[in-house]
Amino acid sequence: MRDWPTGRLLSTASRMVEHAWLEALTALSLSHAGLIVLHLLESGPSTQVDLAARARVEAQTMSRTVERLEREGFVERRSDAADRRRRLVERTPAGAEVFGRARRIEAELFPEVPDLPALREALLGIIGRSGGSRWTEAPTGTPAPGTETTSATPPDSPGGGTVVT
């Protein structure tokens, strides 16, 4: 493997991490998409439309994800006190707990690297150059998945399996 091109190494590492992360999330009754929603709800309740925009998925896709999280008891939908026509999605205590467990598992699951911030910056650069505008600016003005650098360990790492937020 030492003589493999960098792209092949990156692809192989990505697949291996993806499989390990999927197995860990499945044990928690979570999907990559569900973990992303729980992360987005860390800042407080949100509408499904806003969650879909921030996660860069269609509203219908977000609806299915929220329904699954609701069945698991990780989120609740409720009327907005300020506007009863609006429905808000809110993380439950069980959702906060499972999100915390996922973060701890992530820290245990993925190998330590000597300079995690440098690795994250390199990965963000690869995503930016490879994905173009799709991953550089979120439609709602929030940081696009993978562009937020305040946390050394993304919630759905790596790349939420698929999306780094």
User: Which range marks the domain in which residue 22 is found?
Assistant: 6-114
Q: Which of 17-31, 75-89, 114-128 has the lowest mean pLDDT?
A: 114-128
| The total number of structural domains that make up the chain | 1
- Sorted by sequence, the CB contacts under 8 Å of residue 97 that are 6+ apart come out as none
pLDDT at site 136: 53
Quote the Cα angle for 7-11-16, to 5°. 150
pLDDT at site 120: 86
Q: Does some domain include residue 83?
A: yes
Q: Does some domain include residue 14?
A: yes
Q: Does some domain include residue 23?
A: yes
Q: How far, in Å, are 23, 45, 64, 80, 81 from residue 87 at the CA level?
A: 32, 10, 15, 6, 9
Q: Does some domain include residue 105?
A: yes
Q: Tell me the per-residue pLDDT of 7-43, one tens digit each, with 9 for 90 and over.
A: 899 899 889 988 999 999 999 999 999 999 999 999 9
Q: What is the CATH number of the domain that holds 53?
A: 1.10.10.10
Q: Does some domain include residue 48?
A: yes
Q: Does some domain include residue 27?
A: yes
Q: Does some domain include residue 150?
A: no
Q: Does some domain include residue 36?
A: yes
Instruction: Please tell me the pTM assigned to this model.
Output: 0.70
